[in-house]
Structure 1
Amino acid sequence: MGGDSANARKALARATMGNHWQAPIQVYNVNSENQEEISFNLQDMDPMRNQNNDAMVISATLANFLVKKVLIDSGSSADIMFYDAYVQLGIDNAQLRKVNTPLTGFNGEMIEPLGEVMLPLSLGSLPKRSTKIVKFLVV
């Protein structure tokens, strides 16, 4: 358990759900007492757009850089970062860890990731800011 395939990553996540892991950096802890619901209502919808086909695009802080136009894809089992974005973050290629499992794209085409990297990803503004360590596959 714990390989680099999507199923192995999911199995490892399920197996460790109850365990507490302390990140090597200080993060803002979000618990059920200070979570605020995010919801959308009819007033938020643009009636001119097709209601269920809009992409959700946000800005986030990644490795202390503001990254605009982050696409949220809730159907993906991997967090993907393009190599150009990785280079712009100024992270050394030595930080990339080898990945042996190829990714399958929407069209069924296989792509070999250049590697994976763990980076802090922050959303929101203090005091309602959450930071998590996220494993990105760099392509």
Structure 2
Amino acid sequence: MDEDAKRVHHPHDDAIVITLLIADYTIKRVLIDNGSSADILDYPAFQQIRLRQDQLHPVNSALVGFGKTKVQPVGTITLSVVVEAYPQQITKEVNFLVVDYSSSYNAIIGKPNLNSWKAVTSTYHLSVKFSTEQRVG
């Protein structure tokens, strides 16, 4: 709807960047990436949440990114993520790959969780919508 795009200056090619509550911490600069096959948490954000290194589970496979750059994750961790605010919210457990790699984003939410959230993204509107028990969030 055009109403949803009123606050967006057009034309643009901006990314969808949101704020999420991850493990009871507000994490800003979370990229919504329909092309990512993984959900990623940056190591400095992992430290900000005050999690311990021994809470990470080992992972043996590397991530391959743009330009075929390989990054070895520090590990994986499952954390509670709250999207939106009550009553239009969903809370899900997200299995993050934790990476120690310089990035503009603290986290990336990719296809695995966008699908589990039944989310619909619109880059034109710079928004993400999803179903809740109450209505659309």
State if a TM-score over 0.5 links the two structures: yes
Q: Which has the larger radius of gyration?
A: 1
Aligned pairs for 1:1-139 within 5 A: 41-47=4-10, 49-50=11-12, 53-139=13-99
Identity, % of aligned positions = 37
Change (3 A) 1:39 1:96: farther
Which amino acid is the alignment partner of residue 127 of structure 1? Answer: P
Over the aligned positions, Cα root-mean-square deviation in angstroms equals: 1.9
CA positional deviation for 1:39: 8.5
Q: Distance in 1 between matches of 2:39 and 2:2?
A: 23
Instruction: Between the two structures, name the one with larger relative contact order (CA 8 Å, sep ≥ 6).
Output: 2
Which amino acid is the alignment partner of residue 115 of structure 1? Answer: G
Which amino acid is the alignment partner of residue 57 of structure 2? Answer: R
Q: Which runs of 5+ in 1 are unaligned?
A: 1-37
Which amino acid is the alignment partner of residue 106 of structure 1? Answer: F
Q: Distance in 2 between matches of 1:41 and 1:57?
A: 16
Change (3 A) 1:42 1:81: closer
The SS at the match of 1:107 is helix
Q: Distance in 2 between matches of 1:41 and 1:65?
A: 28
Change (3 A) 1:40 1:68: farther
Q: Distance in 2 between matches of 1:70 and 1:42?
A: 20
What is the aligned partner in structure 1 of residue 131 from structure 2? none
Q: Which runs of 5+ in 2 are unaligned?
A: 100-137
What is the aligned partner in structure 1 of residue 110 from structure 2? none
With structure 2 as the length reference, what TM-score do the two structures score? 0.66
What is the aligned partner in structure 1 of residue 127 from structure 2? none
CA positional deviation for 1:43: 2.9
The SS at the match of 1:70 is strand
The SS at the match of 1:117 is strand
Change (3 A) 1:100 1:45: same
The SS at the match of 1:97 is coil
Q: Distance in 2 between matches of 1:108 and 1:134?
A: 25
